[in-house]
Amino acid sequence: MIHTVGLTGPRGNTISVYAAGHGPAVMLLHGFPLNHRMWLKQLVALSSRYKVLVPEFRGFGKSALLDAPYTLADLAQDVEFVRLSLANAAPMHLCGLSMGGYVAFEYWRSYSKHLSSLILSNTKPGLDPEAARSGRLAMAEAVHTHGTWATVEPMLPRLLSNNRPREEDTVVSQLTEMLQQPSPPAIAAAQVAMAGRRDFSSELASINLPTLVISSEDDVICPAEESRDWSSQIPGAEFSVIPQAGHLPPMENPAAFNAALESFVDRTLSR
């Protein structure tokens, strides 16, 4: 059963967390501009064997925006607060997708001793090219005038693969709902934080814990070849490409994504 916890953070801010199951803690960090719902299939499937924790970043889902601007290091601190509050302060397996991956890099930088493993999905360690960085700052301005949906709708076609399994294709409607949810200030604050993020590309060789890098066949935002390249700089890192998925394999092809994640976590636990 999934339950919601509204934690009160160190500064009085609400951090909403969805939790399910018992066992070793696996924390899942969502992408932009999404919320816990992108991880619903994992909350259900993985909770038979793990304690699955899905926090929502500031301004997304039910978490308070607090005072913007914030940095991705601030979000990593929130993640640590969630671990201390809900994982009995035990080490955890941390999986971040895209923006969640940027936060996972930050978490690793400050708190690596609390990690059993790191799973970096559909993300990248490096900075944006200048045009993309200024695009983020432009979006952070425009969203106040045009509203959330008009500003984020153009992202939609780039997020999904046309080859995703279609048996129960509720992905577009779920995604549309999520994209409409954040307030303009939440969108703006996240884009400013991502535009100012730290560059981890020269630190990959010092990641010395079990690491899995996940990409997908049809991710046009973080292409598989690029992910393969940077993953090879992390000592001993595993690399997995999810078929029939774009930027959001946990939603598009949950069976393949869950199998990759579970088999990695299990092997880490048996080491």
Give contact residues for ligand MLT (rule: CB under 6 A): 31-32, 98-99, 194, 221, 247
CB of 221 to ligand MLT, least distance (A): 5
CB of 135 to ligand MLT, least distance (A): 9
Nearer to ligand MLT, 42 or 47 (CB): 42
CB of 49 to ligand MLT, least distance (A): 27
CB of 181 to ligand MLT, least distance (A): 15
- Angle value at C-alpha 66, between 131 and 200, nearest 5 degrees: 40
Chain mean position to CA 151: 21
Q: How many CB atoms lie within 10 A of CB 108?
A: 22
Q: How many CB atoms lie within 10 A of CB 183?
A: 14
Nearer to ligand MLT, 21 or 101 (CB): 101
Nearer to ligand MLT, 47 or 148 (CB): 148
Nearer to ligand MLT, 60 or 108 (CB): 60
Write down how long the chain is: 271
The per-residue DSSP string of 65-84 comes to: --SS---HHHHHHHHHHHHH
CB of 197 to ligand MLT, least distance (A): 9
Nearer to ligand MLT, 87 or 186 (CB): 186
Nearer to ligand MLT, 21 or 33 (CB): 33
CB of 20 to ligand MLT, least distance (A): 23
Both structure tokens of 216: 């997908």
Nearer to ligand MLT, 158 or 228 (CB): 158
Both structure tokens of 137: 């700052």
| Of 218, 151, 223, residue with least CA distance to 184 | 151
Nearer to ligand MLT, 66 or 221 (CB): 221
CB of 42 to ligand MLT, least distance (A): 16
Q: Distances from the Cα of 79 to the Cαs of 37, 177, 180, 221, 233, in angstroms?
A: 17, 25, 24, 25, 26
Buried b (16+ CB within 10 A) or exposed e, 222-241: bbbeebeebbeebeebbbbb
* Terminal Cα-to-Cα distance of the chain (whole angstroms): 29
H/E segment holding residue 92: strand 92-97
**Location of structure tokens 């816990």:** 36
CB of 194 to ligand MLT, least distance (A): 6
